[in-house]
Structure 1
Amino acid sequence: MIVITAPTGNIGSQVLANILDSAERIRVIARDPSKLSSQVLNRVEVVEGSHSDAAVVKKAFAGADRVFWLVPADPRAPSAEAAYLDFSRPACEALKTSGVKQVVGISALGRGWPKDAGHVTATLKMDDLIASTGVSYRALACASLMENFLRQAALIRDHGAFYWPTTADRKEPACATRDVAALAARLLLSRSWTGVESIPMLGPEDISFDEMMAIISDVIGKPVQYHLMAMDDLKAMMIKRGASEGMARAMVNMMTAKNEGMDHLVKRTPSSSSDTPTSFRRWSEEVLKPALVA
């Protein structure tokens, strides 16, 4: 049996869709099962509650041998460690006494970075905690997600603008959630792998914001201008929107590390590009443009 966490979120819902037609028994942990479609509800078992709850994960993991693990965003958490590491502790305790053999988790690039990188540092500590339970673990180490652009969809559509604290000409890896979900599903449907490994999710190429703005402008047929934000402005914006001081600081620390080269610690290989083949242009055509119209 496969257990899917965060089944109504962006990545989790795609992972679930990718395995729904398999012959596997599937169980999901959902805080609000009403958000699941009738097709899903007719196919899966549902354990209602949060996967940070010890009783919930103990019930969900009973009889399962594979788990997809994703910590949902919680900007109001007091710190990144609370959001990722502490959230995962009950599940890791449950893993030790369950029959779960394999876990596939959503993680981040940055292993080996010497300074605090906020969300990334906390996520990597979570990976270590999961691995310490004795399960075989695959951490899908994501670069920045293309879907982050959707958070500024209204600005792009109505004002032709996008704001971020990275210089416009800096090339960075970027990946699409569809590719992350596809690999997660393939791993969940395979019992052949063992041990602990981090798999870089780099996208097909490094790309700058200048290049991405040109692509978006071409795809939607109107110019979109990139605006460089100050880190202090990013922090203030997050707090204004309800984030805690600790989570806003964690975002600044992560973005500072990315700007200093953290996402380039892992070198590209043919497999790291082929695992995440969706180009930014294709993503813009198939995901961003429809979202702007909607």
Structure 2
Amino acid sequence: MIVITAPTSTIGRHLVTDLLDRGAALRLVARDPSRIAPGIRERVEIVVGSHRDAAVIDRACDGARAVFWLAPGDGAEPSPEAAFVDFTRPACEAFVRHGVERVVGISALGRGTPMATRAGLVTASLAMDDLIAASGVAYRAVVCPSFMHNLLRHVRAIKEQGRFFLMSDPELKVPTVATRDIAATAARLLLDDGWKGSGEVACLGPEDLSPTEMAEIISDVLGTEVGYQQIPGAALKDRLMGFGTTAPMAQAMVDMFDAKNQGMDNAAPRTAESTTPTTFRQWCEEVLKPAVAA
């Protein structure tokens, strides 16, 4: 039995489908089971509730051999430590109590870099990894740069203003990754019972691109001019807080992008194992273009 947390997330949806296609027995932890497609619901067990809840994650881990762990990093949390480390503590206790053999978690690039101790959400994610590893369970953190999927938050700006807005240095070439490729890596690890101990597996798209280059590709795919505009950290923080994000979580987002602009995402070497297949152009054609057209 494999437990999947956040099964309706952008990674979780791909992961559930990948694992079911390979014949895995799954138990999904979901606050709202109605968000799970009917064709999926009839093929899995469901534990209703938040995986932050000690009783919920305890029920989910009973009899499980492996767990996929994704802390959502909710912007309403009082701090990044609460969002990642405190969120994960009940799960670590459940892993030990029920003898879970393997845990695969989603985390961030940055370990070992000078920026990692002051990188906001990334720093908290790495502390979460340390907490899980300290429980004694075999653990692999799937560490990622920014998701291509994040650009879907900018569909309206692309349609109405012909541009997208980030804190990222416009000329800094960095990796990005498609969520379906993250899910494929997680599926491989969850089904492989040959690894032990703790460690990281990086997921890097096949190319490094700057936001300026991304805008050029988006323009070509959409057939219309799309530009990129860098915004200052203070403006991003104000915007996030306007959407209900707490001040510490908004600052943690700003700190993360500051660290990324200093090259944090470029520290992991691209190897055959870490390179994922989906190019940014392919993602734009298959995901962004239909979203803009909708």
Give the structure-2-normalised TM-score.
0.97
Match of 2:256 in 1: 254
Which of 95, 106, 131 is residue 129 of structure 1 equivalent to?
131
Equivalent positions of 1:201-240 (< 5 A) are 201-240=203-242
Q: Secondary structure at the match of 2:244?
A: coil
User: Residue 45 in 1 paired to residue 32 in 2?
Assistant: no
Q: CA deviation at 1:46?
A: 0.5
Q: Secondary structure at the match of 2:118?
A: coil
Match of 1:184 in 2: 186
Q: CA deviation at 1:271?
A: 2.1
Match of 2:31 in 1: 31
Counterpart-to-counterpart distance in 2, 1:280 and 1:151: 16
Match of 2:112 in 1: 112
Q: Secondary structure at the match of 2:143?
A: strand
Structure 1: state its 5+ residue gaps: none
Equivalent positions of 1:1-294 (< 5 A) are 1-114=1-114, 115-273=117-275, 276-294=276-294
Structure 2: state its 5+ residue gaps: none
Q: CA deviation at 1:264?
A: 1.8
Q: CA deviation at 1:113?
A: 2.9
- Relative to 1, partners in 2 of residues 1:179 and 1:250: Cα closer, same or farther, differing over 3 Å? same
Amino acid of the residue matched to residue 88 of structure 1? T
The alignment of Structure 1 onto Structure 2 pairs a total of residues equal to: 292
Q: Secondary structure at the match of 1:182?
A: helix
Q: Secondary structure at the match of 1:68?
A: strand
Deviations 1:203-247 (A, max 9, x none): 111111111000000001100011110111011110111100000
Please provide the CA RMSD for this pair: 1.0
Give the structure-1-normalised TM-score.
0.97
Q: Which deviates more, 263-272 or 203-212?
A: 263-272
Q: Secondary structure at the match of 2:135?
A: coil
Q: Secondary structure at the match of 2:111?
A: coil
Counterpart-to-counterpart distance in 2, 1:21 and 1:192: 21
Counterpart-to-counterpart distance in 1, 2:136 and 2:169: 42
Q: Secondary structure at the match of 2:103?
A: strand
Counterpart-to-counterpart distance in 1, 2:183 and 2:271: 20
Q: CA deviation at 1:20?
A: 1.3
Deviations 1:100-135 (A, max 9, x none): 101110000010233310000000000011111111
Q: Which deviates more, 131-140 or 15-24?
A: 15-24
Q: Secondary structure at the match of 2:238?
A: helix
Q: Secondary structure at the match of 1:50?
A: coil
Counterpart-to-counterpart distance in 2, 1:22 and 1:268: 28
Amino acid of the residue matched to residue 177 of structure 1? T
Q: CA deviation at 1:21?
A: 2.5
8 Å CA contact 2:73–2:80 kept in 1: the answer is: no
Q: Percent of pairs identical after alignment?
A: 53
